Amino acid sequence: MKILVLNGNTTVAVTERMIAALNPLCPENVQLIGATAPFGMPYVSTRAAVAVAAHAVQDAVRAAVEREQAAGRAPFDACFYACFGEPGIEALRAEHAFPVVGMAEASMLTALQLGERFAIVTVGAAWPAMLRDLMRRTALEARCAGIAVVPGDALAVATGREEGLRLVRAAVDEAIVRTAPDVVIVAGAALAGYGTALAGQVPVPVLDSLTAGFEQALALARLGLRRGG
């Protein structure tokens, strides 16, 4: 099985870091292939960057598909779009026969199977409004207890792991006290790993959006859905 791991921003190092983090979780017969937005922003944190990424990922996926075809290799079994908010995902779904799993949607759908309400902890001041838009569009907002924002710059929080963990922990604690969720989603590629690090340290399950999304990609790939004709 072959899964395309799609990065909506232009930082190849982020793609590589995500694949490195996911590889240990891979079942034996699963191969991960990375794709990085060919243009856009180093990190998607504004609505303008979202609009560019929506376009860039179309090109990235199309190029990856063609590369496999040209090499006479089997098509992808799924695409894991590893960008919380997954701009342009509906277009990817409309164009490609394989399932496309988005990090935000997949995390929320996982969370819905774990309790009555979830909270989201993320980084970047523009995200709460963007996530409310996404949750209204996908009709998933009724069970969101709230969104808490980790202060500071996403890439900085991603890099300085000790300080990053401290900030994420504070936001998770605050979300639990203020909104009493049954699950907390630690959201976004920049916060990948923090959710896992917090598991067992707070009184509710903590979902890491990178691994939660990846497991959904595996699940949908394994279903082997095809469209008829």
Shortest Å, Cβ 155 to a copy of itself:
20
Instruction: Report, in Å, the least distance between residue 129 CB and a copy of itself.
Output: 4
**Scanning residues 160 to 199, which ones bind a copy of itself (CB under 8 A)?**
180, 182, 199
215 interacts with a copy of itself by CB under 8 A: yes
User: Could you write out the DSSP letters of every residue in the chain?
Assistant: -EEEEEESSS-HHHHHHHHHHHGGGS-TT-EEEEEE-SSS-SS--SHHHHHHHHHHHHHHHHHHHHHHHHTTPPPPSEEEE-STT-TTHHHHHHH-SS-EEEHHHHHHHHHHTT-S-EEEEEE-TTHHHHHHHHHHHTT-GGGEEEEEEE-S-HHHHHH-HHHHHHHHHHHHHHHHHHH--SEEEE-SGGGTTHHHHHTTTSSS-EEEHHHHHHHHHHHHHHHT-----
Residue whose CB is less far from a copy of itself, 17 or 93:
93
Q: Which of residues 57-96 bind a copy of itself (CB under 8 A)?
A: 57-58, 87-88, 90-91, 93-95
- Shortest Å distance, C-beta 167 to a copy of itself: 18
Out of 72, 142, 162, 177, point to the residue binding a copy of itself (CB under 8 A): 142
Smallest gap from residue 208 Cβ to a copy of itself (A):
8
Among 19, 126, 165, 197, binds a copy of itself (CB under 8 A): 126
Q: Is position 106 an interface residue for a copy of itself (rule: CB under 8 A)?
A: yes
